[in-house]
Amino acid sequence: MPDEGVTSGRRFVAVNEILEKHRRRPEELVAILQEVQEVYRYLPEEVLTYVATSMGLTPARVFGVATFYENFSLEPKGKYVIRVCDGTACHVRHSAPILAALRERLGLKDGRNTTPDLTFTVETVACLGACALAPVVTINGKVHGQATPEAIVALIDELAKGERES
Ligand code: FES
């Protein structure tokens, strides 16, 4: 990837801007990590260490916060993050077969949640707050209600096709 160096340089600049904006205040650590995660789509270890050092905190403290909150990910995520709701309303309306169909289609085995090409990540969540539309799936935050395994797999195929053609 020829522009990898440029990209990582830009991301590094973005992290510094985030730190500046929050004036490296320890009480704003969660907000800082949220914004850093938006830049990378996850929290790389070396970036967490950098954030800790430049805020004058111990890496253990920063890692502790990053692992405490469910919304933070220390693993790289795919370009498309698919969340299958497994809250009560969705579960009784058959969310499990949707999850199974997705994992099968994407070849996710042995507890993996992300495809090796970093295109798709599949996660489950407890209640997305749209129970009337159960079962609910979100793809990069866009809500797909009354989902079926067929409809969601078709959407994924569409996205995968778009990726291959781009
Ligand atoms: S249980 Fe799925 S949106 Fe509430």
| Bridge partners for 123 per DSSP | 83
Span 12-66, pLDDT tens digits? 999 999 999 999 999 999 999 999 999 998 999 999 999 999 999 999 999 999 9
How far does the centroid of ligand 1 lie from the alpha carbon of residue 98, in Å?
14
pTM value is 0.76
Q: Give the pLDDT confidence score for residue 1 in this predicted structure.
A: 44
| Bridge partners for 138 per DSSP | 83, 143
- Please give the backbone phi and psi of residue 134, each rounded to the nearest 5 degrees, phi first: -55, 145
Of 131, 138, 143, 144, best ligand 1 pocket probe by most atoms within 8 Å of the beta carbon: 131
> 76: cis peptide before it, omega within 30°?
no
Task: Inform me whether the pLDDT recorded for 139 exceeds 70.
Answer: yes
Task: Inform me whether the pLDDT recorded for 164 exceeds 60.
Answer: yes
- Specify the 3-state DSSP secondary structure of 11: helix
Task: Inform me whether the pLDDT recorded for 7 exceeds 90.
Answer: no
Regarding beta strands 120-125 and 142-144, do their DSSP bridges make them parallel or antiparallel, or are they unpaired? unpaired
Q: What is the mean pLDDT of residues 132-159?
A: 97
How does the average pLDDT of the chain come out, rounded?
A: 93
